[in-house]
Amino acid sequence: MSRETISQSISIVHPISLSHGKNAEVWDTTGKRYIDFVGGIGVLNLGHCHPRVVEAIREQATKLTHYAFNAAPHAPYIELMDRLTAFIPVGYPVSGMLTNSGAEAAENALKIVRGATGRTAVIAFDGAFHGRTLATLNLNGKVAPYKQKVGVLPGPVFHLPFPSCDNGVTCGEALKAMDRLFSVEIDVNDVACFIIEPVQGEGGFLTLDIEFAQALRRFCDEKNILLIADEIQSGFGRTGQRFAFSRLGIEPDLILLGKSIAGGVPLGAVVGRKTLLDNLPKGGLGGTYSGNPIACAAALATLDEMTDEHLKSWGTQQEEAIVSRYESWRSKKLSPYLGRLTGVGAMRGIELANADGSPAPQQLTQLLALAREAGLLLMPSGKSRHIIRLLAPLTIEAAVLEEGLDILEGCLVKLA
- Give pLDDT tens digits for 357-371: 999 999 999 999 999
- Determine, yes or no, domain membership for 6: no
273 and 289 fall within a common domain: yes
Let me know how long the chain is: 416
Query: What pLDDT is recorded for position 2?
Result: 61
**Tell me, what amino acid is at 41?**
I
Q: Is the pLDDT of residue 398 over 60?
A: yes
Select from 277, 305, 333 the last residue of a domain. Answer: 305
Taking a C-beta distance cutoff of 8 angstroms, is the pair 128, 158 a contact? Answer: no
132 and 275 fall within a common domain: yes
Q: Is the pLDDT of residue 336 over 60?
A: yes
CA–CA separation, 81 and 374 (whole Å): 43
73 and 209 fall within a common domain: yes
Taking a C-beta distance cutoff of 8 angstroms, is the pair 390, 367 a contact? Answer: no
- Determine, yes or no, domain membership for 299: yes
81 and 112 fall within a common domain: yes
405 and 356 fall within a common domain: yes
pLDDT level of residue 280 (50, 70, 90 thresholds): very high
- 194: which strand partners? 123, 227
122 and 265 fall within a common domain: yes
- Determine, yes or no, domain membership for 30: no
Instruction: Give the helix/strand (H/E) hosting 349.
Output: strand 347-352
- Determine, yes or no, domain membership for 13: no
- Determine, yes or no, domain membership for 240: yes
pLDDT digits (tens, 9 = 90+) for 40-73: 999 999 999 999 999 999 999 999 999 999 999 9
Provide mean pLDDT across the span 90-102: 97
**CATH code of residue 319:** 3.90.1150.10
CA–CA separation, 224 and 276 (whole Å): 13
Query: What pLDDT is recorded for position 256?
Result: 98
**What is the domain extent for residue 190?**
53-305
Query: What pLDDT is recorded for position 143?
Result: 79
- Determine, yes or no, domain membership for 378: yes
Q: Is the pLDDT of residue 79 over 70?
A: yes
87 and 140 fall within a common domain: yes
Provide mean pLDDT across the span 23-38: 98
Query: What pLDDT is recorded for position 335?
Result: 97
- Determine, yes or no, domain membership for 365: yes
CA–CA separation, 285 and 109 (whole Å): 10
178 and 79 fall within a common domain: yes
Give Cα 219 to chain centroid, integer Å: 25
pLDDT digits (tens, 9 = 90+) for 368-390: 999 999 999 999 999 999 999 99
Ranges 152-156, 160-164, 170-174: which has the least confidence:
152-156
Q: Is the pLDDT of residue 166 over 60?
A: yes
Taking a C-beta distance cutoff of 8 angstroms, is the pair 270, 235 a contact? Answer: no
289 and 343 fall within a common domain: no
**DSSP SS3 for 359:** strand
Q: Is the pLDDT of residue 36 over 70?
A: yes
300 and 312 fall within a common domain: no
Cβ atoms < 10 Å from Cβ of 224: 13
Exposure letters 306-345 (e unless 16+ CB within 10 A, then b) = beeeebeebbebbbebbeebbeebeeeebbebbbbbbbbb
Select from 290, 305, 320 the last residue of a domain. Answer: 305
β strands within 132-238, DSSP E: 157-160, 191-196, 199-200, 206-207, 226-230
Select from 305, 333, 348 the last residue of a domain. Answer: 305
253 and 392 fall within a common domain: no
pTM: 0.96
Provide mean pLDDT across the span 251-268: 98
Instruction: Give the helix/strand (H/E) hosting 84.
Output: helix 75-87
**Tell me, what amino acid is at 245?**
F
**CATH code of residue 64:** 3.40.640.10
Nearest CA-CA partner of 412 in 367, 345, 357, 346: 367
Q: How far apart are the first and last CA of the chain?
A: 33
- Determine, yes or no, domain membership for 20: no
Q: What is the CA radius of gyration of the chain?
A: 21
Q: Is the pLDDT of residue 152 over 90?
A: no
pLDDT level of residue 147 (50, 70, 90 thresholds): confident
For the chain, the domain total comes to: 2
Percent of the chain with pLDDT over 90: 90
Ranges 264-268, 282-286, 331-335: which has the least confidence:
282-286
Query: What pLDDT is recorded for position 1?
Result: 55
285 and 343 fall within a common domain: no
